[in-house]
Structure 1
Amino acid sequence: MSTLILITTSPTSIMAWHALGLAQALQQKQQPFRVFFYQDGVHVANQLNWNPDDQRNLTHEWQSLNIPLPVCVSAALQRGITDQDNAERHQLLHSNLAKHFQLVGLGELADAVEQADRVVQF
């Protein structure tokens, strides 16, 4: 059974950690799944997020899964998150998209929904 994990909640929410936990469990059980970061969930892709040394870093935890990490480009740009291509296109000074995250269009989400047997939103 294929699962789409749709993350729409801010990284400061406990639900964002539950989304990661589900992804880790599915990966450990070798179950097929995809993720998609949308709405406030895109904040996890900001490489400028800071965490104290004594706290887990959600961005690093997602990166360590070594899976595709698609992020809605419109939601990201609206929240000040961009890759180098979009920074140049929109005359922004810097890019701040964290490594392993990729800005994509909503077509990616539509494709993921169509292929998934179930969608779990956090």
Structure 2
Amino acid sequence: MITETREDQHGAVRFLRRHDFRQVMRHPESWLAVQAFDPTPFHRALEQVRAAGFDICDLPALQARDPDWQRNWWVLTVLLSRDVPAPSRAIPRRSRNSRDRCPCPGSCRRAAGSPSRALTTSACRG
């Protein structure tokens, strides 16, 4: 049986331990106040990233310049997920038709078959 709680919910943690549940996974959260973020201390690291041939851009810019952005986003997600601790090795799943599923976060807009058709966030099944 699988359940979840937050570690600041002490009563829930005690209840689960009393009933022989054990922790096998943690999902730490990290938040960034984007408007208050000061990139100045990271200037040197960003230059190193750019010098290595990487570019950091927002999703609309990526969509505009990369016709295969959905697949590339999926590949990046799979590569980055390897660095996330997990109780077992994750096996990435892919839809039979990659255009049927959006690999990007829920706040995206995706082209469904043609660039002229876009689905809103509520239709994104990624």
TM range (shorter): under 0.3
Bigger-Rg structure (1/2): 2
Please state which structure has a larger fraction of its residues in strand: 1
Greater RCO (CA < 8 Å, at least 6 residues apart): 1
